Structure 1
């Protein structure tokens, strides 16, 4: 499938934040569901050949998404997203942290605040992600782990999933 939209990745002047946007040729409802339904997230969230596996997800304010990224050689890394605020079909925000399989935070890695915004337009749906770390060093640590490349691979997976499941 030909890629129709490129991910925009911009570091903020403060060095602690990054702004990522991507346009999808799909309706808002479908894109929202792809970001908020664990069965769909598991199909696109991980960069290939890795796979995302949800242990549990409660997409509600105060709820959490505990998931792992599983590599082709048996590698496994866990993350926990804690949802703080949700406005259906508009945005959600919360904190994402590396953790163990029980959701206990790994203090060796940064915890990142996310705000993911959705807006429908004539091309489909625009998704904007605003990530903020406690410090510029923590954001650089995340980026040095391959975040930008991995996230873009996941976004490409989402674009392919949306095309395959177009409504």
Structure 2
């Protein structure tokens, strides 16, 4: 994980992000100047960025949007002021509307990105310069510090070869804060097929079974926004346990990349928000599930049930039974 520090300076009207990255300067420069790579880490978890315009020339523009899990949208634009590959680029960063015009009442700032080689890799320094203390305080109040740290935490997966980053590490659980958990698992198979395995009933029944000794008794997927899903399981033979199930609604479907659903145990009011993202590289797919819990107590209670172990059993079965690995 990058070592990231965010420093605000009210006297000089700046916010500075410092990150030490375990990759050579050319590799880090590539991540910051390729829109496909920026898409993977510029937005914080749950708010992935999509760069729709990219003209990295002095006077050129880049335009991006970040989409929240409940349909929210926030857009921004860069105007490139200077480019000195692979050491520096400067931009004017502004909030914009759907037509790319600056939004009134939101701060714009000059941002500099500098990259320095170090014995361990590269130090990235990103400094934002504000016109007033009010503009700096407004951005901080919007969650810029927390969002930046969470976004930067995604950079390791971009800088490394995907298999080097995740192969053989099983299902990993990261506690991002009191209510957010990120679960990742590398699956040896193409994204299109992994997506189908999450939404086609005949494939779901082959792998989404949890630990051995359980069977899926009900499988109704939600493949369009507004649809409801319902999955149920029951123990088989001498396996101990009580039948249970989950249900919820689809809030966002962007096949074959992203799906956001609510989820609650059948008969229970407590609800989570599950944000599924799939990224493919060289025939392997990184499955990422960002889960938002209502509170820390619910988070800890659900994690203590052995959820991660059940997911690992299912993912292993996915590779074995669906992907023929």
- Common fold, TM-score beyond 0.5? yes
Matched ranges for 1:97-116 at <5 A = 97-116=94-113
| Aligned counterparts of 1:146 and 1:137: Cα–Cα separation in 2 | 15
Considering only aligned residues, what root-mean-square deviation do their CA atoms show, in Å? 1.3
Q: Which of structures 1 and 2 has the larger relative contact order (alpha carbons within 8 angstroms, sep 6+)?
A: 1
| Aligned counterparts of 2:46 and 2:17: Cα–Cα separation in 1 | 23
Report how far residue 23 of structure 1 moved: 0.4
Report how far residue 15 of structure 1 moved: 5.0
| Aligned counterparts of 2:130 and 2:65: Cα–Cα separation in 1 | 21
User: 1:28 maps to which residue?
Assistant: 25
**Which blocks of at least 5 consecutive residues in structure 2 are unaligned?**
165-325
Q: In the alignment, is the contact (CA less than 8 A) between 2:10 and 2:133 conserved in 1? A: no
| Aligned counterparts of 2:25 and 2:3: Cα–Cα separation in 1 | 18
Normalised to the residue count of structure 2, the TM-score between the two structures is: 0.49
Q: In the alignment, is the contact (CA less than 8 A) between 2:41 and 2:154 conserved in 1? A: yes
**Which blocks of at least 5 consecutive residues in structure 1 are unaligned?**
none
| Aligned counterparts of 2:150 and 2:160: Cα–Cα separation in 1 | 16
1:147 is the counterpart of 2:144:
yes
User: 1:128 maps to which residue?
Assistant: 125
User: 2:87 maps to which residue?
Assistant: 90
Report how far residue 13 of structure 1 moved: 4.9
Paired residue total: 163
Q: In the alignment, is the contact (CA less than 8 A) between 2:3 and 2:21 conserved in 1? A: no
Normalised to the residue count of structure 1, the TM-score between the two structures is: 0.92
Q: In the alignment, is the contact (CA less than 8 A) between 1:81 and 1:94 conserved in 2? A: yes
